[in-house]
Amino acid sequence: MIVVMKAHAEESEIDAVVQRIQRLGFNTHLSRGVERTIIGIVGADHSLNPGNFEVLAGVERAVRVLHPFKIASRDFHPEDSVFEVSGVPVGGDHLTIMAGPCSVESREQLLETAAAVKEAGAHILRGGAYKPRTSPYSFQGLGLRGLEILGEAKERYGLPIVTEVMSPDLVPLVAEYADMLQIGARSMQNYALLQAVGKTNKPILLKRGMMSTMQEWLMAAEYILSNGNDRVALCERGIRTFEPYTRNTLDINAIPAMRTLTHLPIIGDPSHGTGKWELVTPVARAIIAAGANGLIVEVHPRPEEALSDGAQSLKPERFAGLVRQVRAIYDLLQEERHAEE
Ligand code: PEP
Ligand code: MN
């Protein structure tokens, strides 16, 4: 349930409602908007009656939240969440572009890619050091050496780093190097991992599981949020369908659906969403046109030599074209949004 306070309710009235909820044995989550404060009741609250809260001073209304996700829900937090990844804003009116190779393969490969994606306008550098590969015989990533190379690229080019963490015991190490921790599609329902990253102070990029519903994905976000970490961005990276031509089917519906259901930023991944480099730019345009807050794109200077995901990696010059196109679409949408206001 959420308790919506009247515009300009007194602090003492807000406090009294919070105390009342806590005395009943529930946690609260406060969302302070420009106009009004919303108090979320966190926990199994079906036994509570909204009418009992509506009689309290300063309360405008109390309503049941129909979704099982709470802190992630837009009902709890009507305004877009905006946060920074080491100085780079994510969410709200910002267009955030993350790019880099699927895997960190060598110092030369990563530095070359970092220079190119920065030049093309990327804000955050991606690159996997610990790789979740379908086959145990495939390249598994450089591990700690990969993290060190990412650290060097960050220092040299001033780009914050997003990289995947696959297990709870690696969270402290990966968090030493990463500015944003990526939870991969295969780990979306690893609840021990979600709890571990929820206890860090690092922003999280939570990829959608390849066979997960939107609700399961938001419940995964709820694990992170309910452990105290409120900087979570969602990443639509395609789901498994009956179509074998593409690696996954990017669920374009999920972009506007997430803008409605949640206040969390939504980032689209046209690389894993298609699996084919020639589809990446058109699908990236669609992602931004559908209202996403940004993109994560795989870029490799020599895709034919890539140790993972070469078929879906863009060469730097093609990536530069993608950035120009999506920026034009984004600017047009922003103009329209401001004209409506
Ligand atoms: C990746 O980003 O390289 C990756 C493994 O992505 P996903 O978890 O979406 O498959
Ligand atoms: Mn990849």
**Structural domains in the chain, sorted by start:** 2-63 (3.30.70.1140), 83-340 (3.20.20.70)
> Residue 293 in contact with residue 233, Cβ under 8 Å?
yes
Decide if 95 contacts 329 (C-beta within 8 A): no
Tell me how far the alpha carbon of residue 82 lies from the centroid of ligand 2, in angstroms. Answer: 26
pLDDT in tens, 106-120: 999 999 999 999 999
* CA-187 nearest atom, ligand 1: 8
What is the strand order of the sheet 37-42 is part of? 27-32, 37-42, 2-5, 59-63
Which of 43-57, 105-119, 151-165 is predicted with the least confidence, judged by mean pLDDT? Answer: 43-57
pLDDT > 90 fraction of the chain, expressed in percent and rounded = 92
Answer yes or no: is the C-beta of 283 below 6 A from any ligand 1 atom. no
pLDDT score, position 172: 98
Report the alpha-carbon distance of residue 311 to residue 323 in Å, rounded.
19
Pocket of ligand 1 contains residue 128 by CB under 6 Å: yes
pTM: 0.94
pLDDT at residue number 235 = 99
pLDDT at 268 over 90: yes
Choosing from 135, 166, 193, 237 the residue with most ligand 1 atoms within 8 A of its CB, the one to mutate for a pocket test is 237
Alpha-carbon radius of gyration of the chain: 21
Ligand 1 atom with least separation from CA of 132: 5
Q: Partners of 100 in the beta sheet? A: 298
% residues pLDDT > 70 (the chain)? 100
Each as own residue / partner, the long-range contacts of residues 110-113 (CB below 8 Å, 24 or more positions apart, any chain) are 110/149, 110/150, 110/153, 111/149, 111/152, 111/153, 111/156, 112/301, 113/299, 113/300, 113/301, 113/316
Closest CA to 85 of 136, 124, 54, 41: 124
Ligand nearest to the CA of 207: 1
Nearest-angstrom CA–CA distance, 334 and 242: 36
Both tokens assigned to 122: 């990327």
Work out whether the CA dihedral 221, 222, 225, 227 comes out positive or negative.
negative
pLDDT band at 340 (very low <50, low <70, confident <90, very high): confident
- φ, ψ of residue 130 to 5 degrees: the values are -115, 115
pLDDT band at 341 (very low <50, low <70, confident <90, very high): confident
Å from CA of 122 to ligand 2 middle = 17
Ligand nearest to the CA of 133: 1
Arithmetic mean of pLDDT over the chain: 96
Place of tokens 């379908």: 134
Average pLDDT over residues 302-317: 98
pLDDT at 45: 84
Residue whose Cα lies nearest atom 6 of ligand 1: it is 184
Q: How far is the CA of 307 from the centre of ligand 2 (A)?
A: 10
182: confidence class by pLDDT, cuts 50, 70, 90? very high
Report the Cα–Cα distance between both ends of the chain, in Å, rounded. 30
Q: What is the pLDDT of residue 130?
A: 97
Per-residue pLDDT for 65 more than 90? Answer: no
Assess whether the C-beta atom of 68 lies below 6 angstroms from ligand 1.
Answer: no
CA dist., res. 94 & res. 294, Å (int): 8
Ligand 1 atom closest to Cα of residue 182: 2
Tokens, residue 164: 């995947």
